[in-house]
Each structure stands twice: as structure tokens, then as C-alpha cells.
Amino acid sequence: MIACGTEKGFNKYLDKYVTNYKYIIGLKLPDQTFSIKLGATSFDFSLKDITIADFDFDSVTMSFRENAANMVIANIKNASFALSLQWRIQQTTYPYINDKGSGNIYITDMNAQLQILTECTYDKCPNQIVQQFPSFKVSIDSIRVQLTGGESWIYQSMINLVLDSIKEPLVKMIQEFTKDEISDALNQIFSHSKPVKQFQSFTDVIKDERFVNKWEIGNGFSYFKLSGYTWSTLNYYDEFIQKQMLDKIIPNKYNRDLQIAIDVQGFNNVFYISQIQRLLFQ
């Protein structure tokens, strides 16, 4: 079988998917620790319990253009994050001054562009597509840090150093978060909850539906090849795999938003099994 989707269909789905982005509010992000140099001494600055307090953006789109690498370009425009957190600062040398409290980080006008590839994982992860991100460019117009709750002068005097030190780990954290969200969205478009599904009308007929190759990209569309074999759990004889069922499938270029296409070999396979099942139970 072939699962095919157009650029229009992908972006329509993404628009619906990200409309419900509010579910990410409250999600926890990984703790961050980095070192701050101040003259001859240094401090370890830790951010813990980092939580997405708010999130917004203008658009998320994907662009499909035929290329040898089968690469897709995704763009995120004007995203903003508000993060709540707990912080702690510890001097690494004498007199070992420390401080702690709560705080917020505000990231505004973030734009990102990333390249997306897929790889075939028929053996390791047959019912999902695995993405690779060879390039991920992020630009952030403004990062503002607000720290409260400490009782010493340390964090107040070091706020500019904190800002300089925090940008790189924040960008990496946002990149990883964005990759995970895009992977989830793509898998929801094409994947199934289980690699093996059972027909409702035939309790002993199994449908094997697994990704057998990476996606292929054309101008304005993408498609995947799936295994699509069907067999009976009562009889595992070779008669259930007919020669014509193994004929090479020729991909078609579809112009609809999103569809699952069953090749003639796959249809004949399903039809053949259903007839055998009918004869078995007569």
C-alpha cells in the first residue's frame, strides 16, 4: 500500500494539530546547569522544574519540493514562550556563596527553519516513521529573565551574565522540544497505533501494515510505502501469499489532500483471504 499526502494536506493537518497546542502548557522541560565566570571565581547556575507557562505562534508550515535527498523544509514563524522555573546559584570556590528562588523566562519573536529527513526502520520501529534533522536554524529577537525570591545580592548583580549564559542551552532545549512535537505530528498523520491490526469482520484474519521505506518527496506531495500483507491465523500456508501479490508496486502521483491508496496486489490479497475464510467456515 501507499500512504500519500500533499503539501496542502500536511499543512491543513498541521493547522488543526497546532490549534490544540495549549496541551503543551504545563509540560516539563529538562533541567539546565551551566557555569558563569566572574573574575577569578565561578558559579554553577541551575534551572530546575522548568515548565511551559504559555506558548503562542503565528504559523507552522511545511514545504514539499522534489529533491535527491527527499528532504522537507518546515518553518515556524513568530513563536513566543513563557517558562516558569526554580533557580539556584552556587559559588564553586570560597566563600561558597549560594542563593535560590523562582523565576520566569520570556522568549519572543522566535523564528525557525528546519530540514526533515526520514529513515527506514522496518525492523526497529515498524509502525512509526523516524525523522532526522540535518539542519535547524533558530533566531530569537528577545530573551528576558526574571528571577525572584533570593535573599542575597548575587542574582541581581549577575543578571546580564545569566542572560549571556542561558541563551545557547535555551535554544538547544527549544530545538529538541520542537523536533519531538514535529515527529509526533508526522506520526499521527501516517502511523498507526499498532503495526498489526485485525479486521473487525474476520476474527482470524490479520493485516500487517508496516513502513518499509523512507518517505519520497515530489513537488507538492509525499508518500510512504507500507507492507499491506494479509493472512489467516488458522492457516500459515504459502497459498496465502500468491505470486501476483508480490508484484512490484508503481507509485502514482496523487493530487488530493491526504489518502491511503491500496494497490491492486493489496486489494487482491484482501479479497483472496476473505474468500478462503468464507470457504473454511462453510
Which tens digits make up the pLDDT trace of 129-147? 778 899 999 999 999 988 8
- 80 and 174 share one domain: yes
Task: For residue 228, give its domain range.
Answer: 196-280
> Whose CA is closest to 157, among 1, 29, 277, 43?
43
The pLDDT of residue 266: 64
- 165 and 229 share one domain: no
The pLDDT of residue 36: 86
Tell me if 2 is assigned to some domain. no
Predicted model pTM: 0.69
The pLDDT of residue 198: 44
The pLDDT of residue 238: 44
> What's the structural domain count of the chain?
2
- 86 and 177 share one domain: yes
- Those residues whose C-beta lies under 8 Å from the C-beta of residue 261, and which sit 6 or more positions away, are 1, 2, 3, 4, 252, 254
- 209 and 172 share one domain: no
- 213 and 145 share one domain: no
Q: Of 143, 158, 190, which closes a domain? A: 190
The pLDDT of residue 44: 92
The pLDDT of residue 125: 62
- The residues of the chain scoring below 50 in pLDDT are 193-200, 236-239, 255-256
